[in-house]
Structure 1
Amino acid sequence: MERTVKKFALLAISFFVATLTYAQITTSSMSGRVTDADGAIVPAATVIAVHTPSGTQYYSITDNAGNYRIHNMRIGGPYTVTVSYVGYADAVYGNITLRLSENYVQDIVISESATTLEAIVISAGMDNPILTSDKSGTSTNVSSREIDALPTVSRGIQDFTKLTPQANGFSFAARDNRMNNFTVDGAGFNNNFGLSSSLPGGKAEPISLDAIEEITVNIAPYDIRQSRFTGAAINAVTKSGTNRIHASAYTYQRFKGMAGKTVDGQEVQGAGETSKQTWGVRVGGPIIRNKLFFFLSGEFETEDASGVNWRPSTDGVGKADQFISRTSEADLERVKQHLISTYGYDPGKYKDWDPFKVRNYKILARVDWNISRNHKLMVRYNDVVGSYMNVTNATSAPSGLSRASSARMSANSIAFQNNFYGMENTVRSITGELNSTLGARMTNQFYATYTHIRDGRTSPNDKLADPLNRFPHVDIWKDGDAYMSFGYELFTFHNEVLNNTWNIVDNLTINLNRHTVTLGASFEHLYVRNSYIREGTGYYRYNSVDDFLNNATPSAFGLTYGYYGNDAPGQMLTFGYAGVYAQDEWQVTPRFKLTYGVRLEMPFYFDKMDTNLAIRDKTAGFGDISYPESGIAVNGGAWDVGTWPKSKVTINPRIGFNWDVTGDRSLQLRGGTGIFSGMMPFVWFTNQVGGAAMIQSPELAWNAAACAAYGLKFNPDYKALIAADPTTFPSEPNPNYLPNNANIAMVDKDFNFPQVWRSNLGVDVELPWNMIFTGEALFTKDINAVTQVNANETAPVGTMAGADNRPVWDNNRKVNPSLSSAMMLTNTNKGYQFQLTAQLTKNFSKGLSGMVAYTYTNAKDVSANPGSTAYSVWTANASAYSLNDPRLSYSNFSIPHRLIGNLTYRVEYLRHLATTIGLVYQGMPAGRWSYTYSGDVNRDGSSNSDMMYIPASPSEISFVDAGGMTAQQQSAAFFEYVDNNKYLSAHKGGYAERFGDVRPWIHRFDIKVLQDVFVNFGKDNRLTLQVSLDMLNVGNLLNDSWGCYYYHALSSYDNVMPLRVVAGGTATAAPTFRLNANDVADFKTKSQLTKYVSTDSTWSMLLGFRLLF
């Protein structure tokens, strides 16, 4: 009873006094020091700041040190600041613009007047977001001017966050992009479930670009309010209404042909078939002048594209450079007619594919209410709904079964159109924020948000009559690799993720002379429901077309189904995250500021789950797992899948500083250090629920022997299959039963959410011509990184014979043979990211602004967690040792060198014309590669996941005659390839490192041209017709071999596989290999890097028309 009361009390306290997650910053602030002409401080002076466009007022009183501080201000401007004091003339400072999450410092001098008290009006000068006492950490701000002026064809947020020097796509500081925290007006727009690395909304942006006022990217903010990330905190604030009506109607058109059609002289299939149209409108203005304002935005987008470039062959010969698959039309037609005549099932097209359609709309509404001078309220609602089509999954198979080397849609295989799947995405969010001034020294910010995100799948089979609408997924292989696929895509049946999140935040700020103290509280409640049924309609694999046509026993089978006849059982997780924080900004001297604080954080698991005693019994023999070089340590013993990890308080201190070295803000030194905690994909949590066999069956994964032992034959209706054998396929859970070959998962009871120690040191120097040089170092060390281990894998039986002496397994590689896998989500303390940045910035002046930066990165991790399920993460994280012991290696997110630059220029002329030009350059290696084997060299049961040993000489590797190639011919071709490969030749006699090789550089120039035709009328009114042209990869327009990605025909995703395993190694025999090609000539062709013939490599453009008022 006492423990129950304590838990209840702790929960109640955390609800009201908690913090963590979305405590992001949605406003700006202003501070400074008021002195007289002699430099004496002026206490008790009144400071009033007015947001000129809306008439919104903020005020403060200077303290005994002459300091004033104004918090929770609207971003943007211009602002006018007036300082008044008895016996002095008012000082008025104008033309002040505030940036999101930054403190604008404006020191003010007032003059004494004995006779007249006329106001002295002074221009505040140029906005300088870098040389300011508020800046200590690593951050980037993107203003509305830059959003309007810089090129974007996708009209996506990532086109602007890439301006961050430490970025790589949507990855920051060389961290997994799923570890970011993206918020809009304080509301989380995160893919919490983690099935994809993109933002929520699928192919639709989660918010219209036209609704965004400003974006900030904070990587090392020492403001304790910013949280929930170990990558970056990306904050966006929406536009708001003012005292004047502003409106814009626009359309963006990408017609067919507005993209390059060739790469290095080769035709890009379907390049000229893509068309995209966007229509939108926005309007904002007053409801009650100076009091109540509105802003509305609406947008509709449609796109039709050629989603599939591959087509079948007529002669059975694949030609990757022409996107021709070896799968013959004759075989495809034979199978199609058999399916129609035997089962009444039409698998759809296998060529001349239907275009892939993308549809989405976005709506946003915002109201701002100046309740009084002391209280201001904002309410914002956002709604996004979209849909699009995808090709089938590439190579996945039932857990524990071998995968094909080639994708289902590739030079070796074709999938029928009904094997594709669609996505339906919804993002809805509402935010309310109240900012209050509580006297001269205290301000308060309170906001509450709710976000609903839904991602569901559809299939072309859904339109068919029962039971054809649940036809199984079938893979047909040929010569040991993928050849043909049809049926219901293996992961799509009733696949749906719901993610509902609400949170509350309260920040109280107290000004105490030289100290600004912040006390905050927040609580996040997250509900996730995942309906995920692997192989939900059944999975069958056959070794040949004839095997399927003749109804032979399949070579593999997989199935998961819901209990009690429920087709869509949901794995549910209700989670909370809470904490408390406090911070002090100490203006030690006028030139030195110190910011220090601490936050305490704690997770809550609200669900009570049923346990499966059979899992406890089957895992009782699990021993401890310890791999010091990987930083992995897991306790052995029986599993209780009915419990979650222990809730533990984590402590996150931070400290940052800013030193104005010269006293005139021309040279500043800044930096800090601190602990940052974040979230992770919750799909890995729900794996525990899904594998517990209490709401749905565990995934059944049968190999050829199991299929033969059962006497399995193809059944087009999985419901008929399970109804015919309730013993093998029970219809309801049994807490004392788990079928053989089940895949189970659990979260380590000592698991901690991601946590890093991050530090930075930067110097900013003012240069002539309004330029600033920045040098910055950023270092991140993992305290608790996330990784997966398979507790059902035995220790190796020894090391492999020969020069490659890696660990090796025998056929008894499972601790419990009745389990297929037992995945444990756990932590490692290995991993780091280091970045050095040199940056030159020119602030906006006379229509010109720009930036250029170079960043060097060195980052290593134990796992990049390359998958959406526990088992797929484990098998995809290649290793030269054990998949349980992947060891520290280069991070997939580590781009060693990156150049980024932008330049904008605007000029008005001839009284009615204006031209804006925006240019963005990005140059960097296009990613990283690993060198692995095709097949399983160490006999651990996982294919394509063994790092390659690079032999020092031909005597260290054994080839066998294959495919008309002699062993000697293959050896000569292979070593010619190694000697001509910079990475492989430098690492002879050792193992290739995971992501050890760097892809070739790619250089891209993007440009935007805006032409305005305007008419001025009335007082400060302007009507503008604007025509814009955005073009990506301009160099490729001039020469179709420029700005292209490179492709390796021996690669699958990020793995380059020059060799195919013929026989895996043992403790007494070295492995044998063959070239991973049809013949020597084919290998020499495939081993050469070639330009990637795809629309990813070509130029593209977007034409826009806009009317502004």
Structure 2
Amino acid sequence: MKTLSAGAAAIALTTAFATLAPTPAMAQSTTSDVRGVVTDPSGAPVAGASVSIRDRRTGAARTVRTGSGGVYTFRGLNVTGDYTISIDSDQYADQSVSNVTLSLGDTTVVNFGLAGASTDDEIIVVASRSSAIDIATGPAATFDFNDLQNTPAISRDIKDIIRTDPRVFIDESFGNGLQCAGASPRFNSLTVDGIKLNDNFGLNSNGYPTERLPFPFDAINQVAVELAPFDVEYGGFTGCNINAVTRSGENEFHGSAWGDYTNDSLRGGSIEGSEFDKGNFRKVRFGATLSGPIIKDKLFFFAAYEKFNDVEVLARGPAEAGAIGTQGVSQAQLDRIADIARTVYGYDVIPLPANFDESDEKILVKLDYNINDNHRASFTYNRNDGNNITASDGDPNEYEFFDHYYLRGTTINSYSGQIFSNWTDNLSTEARVSFTKNDTRQESVGGTDFGEVRINTFNNGERASVYLGADDSRHSNKLDTETFNIKLKGDYSINNHLITLGYEREELEVFNLFVQQTEGEYRFDRVGTSGLALDPDANIDDFEIQLADDIHYGNAGGTNVPEDAAANFGFVTNTAYLQDEFVLDEYGLTITAGLRYDWYTSSDVPTLNANFLARNGFDNTSTFDGKGLLQPRVGINYEAADNLTLRAGAGIFSGGNPNVWLANSYQNDGTTTIQLRVRDIDLTGLTFVEDEGGSGRPIYGVPQFLFDDVASGTADTGVNAVDPDFNIPSQWKAAFGLTYNFDAPMGFGEGYTLQADFLYTKDRDAATIIDATLEQVGTGPDGRPIYRQIDRADPDCVDPLAAACGGRRFNQDFILTNNEGGGQKVISAALSKDYEFANSWRADWTVAYAYTNAKDRNPMTSSVAFSNFVGVQTSDPNNLALATSNYEVPHRITFRAGVANEFFDGYETKFNLFGTISQSRPYSINFTDGGELFGDQLDDRHLLYVPTGPADPNVIFAPGFDTAGFFSLVSELGLDQYAGMIAPRNAFQSEWFSQWDIRIEQEIPGLFKGHNGAAFVILDNVGNLLNDKWGVINQAGFPGRVQLADLDESGLGPNGEYIFTGFNNVDPDSIQRPVTNASVWEIRFGVRYEF
């Protein structure tokens, strides 16, 4: 018997006898596979050889015999296992490969070349795997438990790990949304042990159904990110699929406990010279894991728990706060607004605190049952209950008193059961059932007695919106969803083919109470930017004399009881797929080809609105019922040489589109919910509905006449509807990549790994929103259309130019429909190397780069149809032009390095570094107004026409217009490159930034034999610790726009010219504002104990 330890000898034998390589990825699975070919000394396949696999941790074992081509396969293996694979031969020396570990989403190939030797000999090889990222037929990344534990993950979120892939960008300015290859965070999918835990309804910008990571961080064994997996089991996304598998118990008991701590003295308090009040706080997080056998070799458990009481620093303020302040409002203006609210309306605003408390609690329990050698089962339960306090209107040009913030909370309970069976050496099956219940709550910090107030202010040449009272979207808001999934899959191998057949079903039930403005919304914004020079406090004056420019009120038609307007509906997503994986081992080639078909069914329809039918010629009851999509895919993996693997694939993907976009048509049918809007209202002359205090006070109660109009149920209001010709959105994906292992010349060392990928995507039937009430009536001097509203059900408004059809009608019909043309091109490369030194030193590093070019017509940034319509910057709201996507990050570089050494014998010290250098989000430059002139009644979102100069024939500059100052600003902003044109959407890119994080860990002795401990420290954004100008993320605020020039809204000039009446004299340096909490340094100290 000859035993080899890991090292050069083992690697040599691995090359000669057992070759490990990744092959085409499995699907959204919780398991992995092993396959290989057994050959004799002449290279001929050996049929009927006995191949066994055994998991050292649990004792689970299985034996199969090779087929006629010498091929063997083990399917449905536990990813957390530590395996030994053995060959038992009567003619040749037995062989075994130990320490085989598996990667989620990969099939591991272990080929055996039998040697002519005495049958009493046995060759044993200890497997050695590269630490480089595993790549399958499409661009992907897999991270194991060591990656999760050693990366500087100060947030204890898998996003801290995933971001090391340069194709992935975490948008810390907008809910930590995860953007994969330039796609919306809403288009991703997340599964954990087969449980679908992405934000399938679509309310959260973070991509989770909860406020934070919905499961304990220490429960995860591996996580894989797949950008374009060409296996037909993958579905439910067009961005990326994030698939995680949890840890499992084994025959030995193991446990851990950990905690970490930080406080206000361990966090930065200044950005670019501007200090802010952090307040006094401390943050504590702690958790534990425990695993082991219930019945040895049979039944095992694993449990994880995590809790924290966190503090969020609220670094906001007025203009006097400097870089973090809202420049369009001063402290004196805020004081006056607060005083008016108290003395005129009897309402006390809540000032912004320095910080506020948040909490989160997670628990996961998993059972694994080895029924026998051919059947095993697992069950996972997961619960998360967390909350945070969120700004509703927190853009850089907005200021909210704290009473306008709201508490978000979510409780999720999920259950998953799976059975994996091997009926013969050729036939295996998987059955899975899961259920998830998600209850969300959204409550205004100041309660809902007082409606929402918005006041536009002006200061230092800039405009701001100031908010107080209950946020209008939190007046009546509650969401409960229940999701039931089943999966049935079978694999049958015959010769060199593996045939996969499967069916999946997802049933979604929704209760959605979302009625905006049930307490009323009052806007004091009569004076726009053009009035700044006349009276910067004019709108505050209107607030004092109770003269509102707009009042919005919405409620359940006929009753004024918000609960009566809740949407209750459900639908089913069905999937069937068939695939053939064809392996030609003699050529190192694997071809995967298959078909996937998704189809939707539902018996629930929105309430018919006869007025909508009369206006538009089609009804509002369309859903996704009966719609389907065929998705062909093919993938190729080619081992061109021992050190070179090529991969390619193409196919159609669908899914990830938030269900809330469909829910809007149930909720906003214009009958169940009625939304009203009136303008130029003197509150002093109105009667108000009695409030909770028994008196009808302005803003505490809504105007009686609006309440009565809703009670009558006859108001003709706008509708959200699905286009009857709507097609399920999908995307073509094509990819080519390689993995190349090589030795560097000129003495730079051995064992480098280069990975490179090209990803191309093209949108098919991407979702967008149009306003069906708009009809073009003219053309602007720059060629853009001018619209007016039309109402075909109103004889006086069939002609949009009719006098009775003028002004604002407020019954916009928003249609969910399709567009074409968007997509992404992504080129990425990663170079990595590991070092094993003769002493106790070891090290590794990876440097990676990604270039992303992303285009779309509508970024669909919101859950609300109105916001998705107004949130895109445009020169034609109903025919959006193809432009740079909001989610494009053109260049991103990442660097990861780790060094470890035993400075103290037996106790390792680890240093891990992660850094990123990246561009930030793009932005547009717009007119400040234009809603009335261009006809959609929506300001701020119309792209700027850039005059060629003071004599531009398309523009008249109003008397007193500072043309010299304006064109100087045009030059400073880089707008002069678009002179005589409309500045394109997202034509301007926010600046580059870099951030570096460090984790240092020192192992320490445990209290008993087999126990060990560790102390660690995480330094987040080290550069900012050294200099408050470093590590700062500066970018234009959501939704990525800058308002510049004012238009005369009364119409065009005598020869069709635009009339420029003024401009917002923005400071070019203030367009990109710091993302405060993502830009300051933080340090956490922690300890961990394991046995």
Same fold by TM-score, threshold 0.5 exceeded? yes
- Does 1:165 pair with 2:187? no
Cα distance change, pair 752–939 in 1 and its aligned pair in 2 (3 A):
closer
1:669 Cα deviation after fit: 1.7
Equivalent in 969, 973, 981 of residue 977 of structure 1: 969
- Does 1:987 pair with 2:1015? no
Cα distance change, pair 94–874 in 1 and its aligned pair in 2 (3 A):
same
Q: Is the 8 A contact 2:775 2:789 kept in 1?
A: no
Question: Please, which moves more after superposition, 217-226 or 984-993?
Answer: 984-993
Q: Is the 8 A contact 1:554 1:713 kept in 2?
A: no
Cα distance change, pair 30–730 in 1 and its aligned pair in 2 (3 A):
same
- Does 1:231 pair with 2:231? no
1:369-422 Cα shifts (integer Å, max 9, x gaps): 111111111101000001111234358xxxxxxxxxx8441xxxxx43322211
1:939 Cα deviation after fit: 4.2
- Does 1:1071 pair with 2:1058? yes
1:709 Cα deviation after fit: 13
1:1047 Cα deviation after fit: 4.9
**Separation in structure 2 between the aligned mates of residue 527 and residue 558 of structure 1, nearest angstrom:** 28
1:765 Cα deviation after fit: 1.5
**Separation in structure 2 between the aligned mates of residue 263 and residue 714 of structure 1, nearest angstrom:** 46
**Separation in structure 2 between the aligned mates of residue 322 and residue 834 of structure 1, nearest angstrom:** 35
Equivalent in 118, 123, 132 of residue 120 of structure 1: 123
- Does 1:509 pair with 2:491? yes
1:886-942 Cα shifts (integer Å, max 9, x gaps): 111111111111112211222234323211111112111111111111111634321
State the one-letter code of the partner of 1:67. V
Equivalent in 846, 870, 878 of residue 875 of structure 1: 870
**Separation in structure 2 between the aligned mates of residue 781 and residue 845 of structure 1, nearest angstrom:** 44
Equivalent residue, structure 1, for 2:747:
none
Task: Tell me the SS of whatever aligns to 2:718.
Answer: strand
- Does 1:93 pair with 2:97? yes
Q: Is the 8 A contact 1:291 1:371 kept in 2?
A: yes
Question: Please, which moves more after superposition, 321-330 or 421-430?
Answer: 321-330
State the one-letter code of the partner of 1:559. G
**Separation in structure 2 between the aligned mates of residue 189 and residue 602 of structure 1, nearest angstrom:** 21
**Separation in structure 2 between the aligned mates of residue 613 and residue 113 of structure 1, nearest angstrom:** 86
Equivalent in 785, 789, 792 of residue 807 of structure 1: 785
Equivalent residue, structure 1, for 2:1013:
1025
- Does 1:219 pair with 2:227? yes
Q: Is the 8 A contact 1:428 1:452 kept in 2?
A: yes
1:163 Cα deviation after fit: 2.1
- Does 1:857 pair with 2:852? yes
Equivalent residue, structure 2, for 1:423:
408
**Separation in structure 2 between the aligned mates of residue 746 and residue 203 of structure 1, nearest angstrom:** 29
- Does 1:263 pair with 2:257? no
1:236 Cα deviation after fit: 0.6
- Does 1:1056 pair with 2:1058? no
What are the within-5 Å matches in structure 2 for residues 275-314 of structure 1? 275-307=282-314, 309-311=316-318
Task: Tell me the SS of whatever aligns to 2:372.
Answer: coil
1:870 Cα deviation after fit: 0.9
Task: Tell me the SS of whatever aligns to 1:76.
Answer: coil
Cα distance change, pair 546–861 in 1 and its aligned pair in 2 (3 A):
closer
Q: Is the 8 A contact 2:638 2:647 kept in 1?
A: yes
**Separation in structure 1 between the aligned mates of residue 682 and residue 906 of structure 2, nearest angstrom:** 81
- Does 1:761 pair with 2:736? yes
Task: Tell me the SS of whatever aligns to 1:953.
Answer: coil
Question: Please, which moves more after superposition, 208-217 or 472-481?
Answer: 472-481
1:53 Cα deviation after fit: 1.5
**Separation in structure 2 between the aligned mates of residue 231 and residue 650 of structure 1, nearest angstrom:** 17
State the one-letter code of the partner of 2:360. N
What are the within-5 Å matches in structure 2 for residues 919-1068 of structure 1? 919-936=913-930, 938-956=934-952, 966-967=960-961, 970-982=962-974, 984-1014=975-1005, 1021=1010, 1023-1047=1011-1035, 1053-1063=1039-1049, 1066=1052, 1068=1055
1:687 Cα deviation after fit: 1.5
Question: Please, which moves more after superposition, 754-763 or 568-577?
Answer: 568-577
Cα distance change, pair 924–554 in 1 and its aligned pair in 2 (3 A):
closer
Equivalent residue, structure 2, for 1:750:
725
Q: Is the 8 A contact 1:203 1:358 kept in 2?
A: no
1:276 Cα deviation after fit: 2.1
**Separation in structure 2 between the aligned mates of residue 261 and residue 425 of structure 1, nearest angstrom:** 30
State the one-letter code of the partner of 1:31. R
1:71-129 Cα shifts (integer Å, max 9, x gaps): 11111342111111334432111121111121111111334556x53432122232477
Equivalent residue, structure 1, for 2:652:
675
1:297 Cα deviation after fit: 0.8
- Does 1:493 pair with 2:493? no
Q: Is the 8 A contact 1:977 1:1087 kept in 2?
A: no
Equivalent residue, structure 1, for 2:505:
523
**Separation in structure 2 between the aligned mates of residue 440 and residue 731 of structure 1, nearest angstrom:** 69
1:730 Cα deviation after fit: 4.3
What are the within-5 Å matches in structure 2 for residues 452-467 of structure 1? 452-462=437-447
Cα distance change, pair 290–563 in 1 and its aligned pair in 2 (3 A):
farther
- Does 1:577 pair with 2:573? yes
Cα distance change, pair 918–810 in 1 and its aligned pair in 2 (3 A):
same
1:64 Cα deviation after fit: 0.5
Equivalent residue, structure 2, for 1:611:
608
Cα distance change, pair 757–844 in 1 and its aligned pair in 2 (3 A):
farther
Equivalent residue, structure 2, for 1:103:
107
Equivalent residue, structure 2, for 1:701:
677
1:236-264 Cα shifts (integer Å, max 9, x gaps): 11111111111111111121122222222
Q: Is the 8 A contact 2:757 2:828 kept in 1?
A: yes
**Separation in structure 2 between the aligned mates of residue 806 and residue 862 of structure 1, nearest angstrom:** 16
Gaps of 5+ in 2: 1-25, 171-177, 527-538, 744-749, 792-796
Cα distance change, pair 950–1090 in 1 and its aligned pair in 2 (3 A):
same
Cα distance change, pair 88–199 in 1 and its aligned pair in 2 (3 A):
same
Q: Is the 8 A contact 1:491 1:535 kept in 2?
A: yes
**Separation in structure 2 between the aligned mates of residue 861 and residue 120 of structure 1, nearest angstrom:** 57
Task: Tell me the SS of whatever aligns to 2:268.
Answer: coil
- Does 1:199 pair with 2:199? no
1:694 Cα deviation after fit: 4.0
Count of residues in correspondence between the two structures: 1008
Task: Tell me the SS of whatever aligns to 1:71.
Answer: strand
What are the within-5 Å matches in structure 2 for residues 52-71 of structure 1? 52-71=56-75
Task: Tell me the SS of whatever aligns to 1:703.
Answer: strand
Cα distance change, pair 123–460 in 1 and its aligned pair in 2 (3 A):
closer
TM-score, length-scaled by structure 2: 0.87
1:1016 Cα deviation after fit: 10
Gaps of 5+ in 1: 1-21, 312-316, 396-405, 410-414, 463-468, 623-636, 1078-1082
Equivalent residue, structure 1, for 2:1082:
1100
State the one-letter code of the partner of 1:717. D
1:158 Cα deviation after fit: 1.0
Cα distance change, pair 845–951 in 1 and its aligned pair in 2 (3 A):
farther
- Does 1:656 pair with 2:635? yes
**Separation in structure 2 between the aligned mates of residue 358 and residue 886 of structure 1, nearest angstrom:** 40
Task: Tell me the SS of whatever aligns to 2:515.
Answer: coil
What is the root-mean-square deviation of aligned Cα atoms in Å? 2.9
Q: Is the 8 A contact 1:1058 1:1087 kept in 2?
A: no
Equivalent residue, structure 2, for 1:632:
none
What are the within-5 Å matches in structure 2 for residues 777-856 of structure 1? 777-795=758-776, 797-801=777-781, 804-809=782-787, 820-842=811-833, 847-856=842-851
Question: Please, which moves more after superposition, 751-760 or 973-982?
Answer: 973-982
Equivalent in 251, 254, 261 of residue 253 of structure 1: 261
**Separation in structure 2 between the aligned mates of residue 677 and residue 203 of structure 1, nearest angstrom:** 26
State the one-letter code of the partner of 2:669. A
**Separation in structure 1 between the aligned mates of residue 181 and residue 492 of structure 2, nearest angstrom:** 33
1:195-231 Cα shifts (integer Å, max 9, x gaps): 2221335433211211111110011111111111111
Equivalent residue, structure 2, for 1:399:
none
State the one-letter code of the partner of 1:757. W
State the one-letter code of the partner of 1:105. V
Q: Is the 8 A contact 2:958 2:1059 kept in 1?
A: no
**Separation in structure 1 between the aligned mates of residue 366 and residue 703 of structure 2, nearest angstrom:** 54
Cα distance change, pair 811–383 in 1 and its aligned pair in 2 (3 A):
closer
Equivalent residue, structure 1, for 2:76:
72
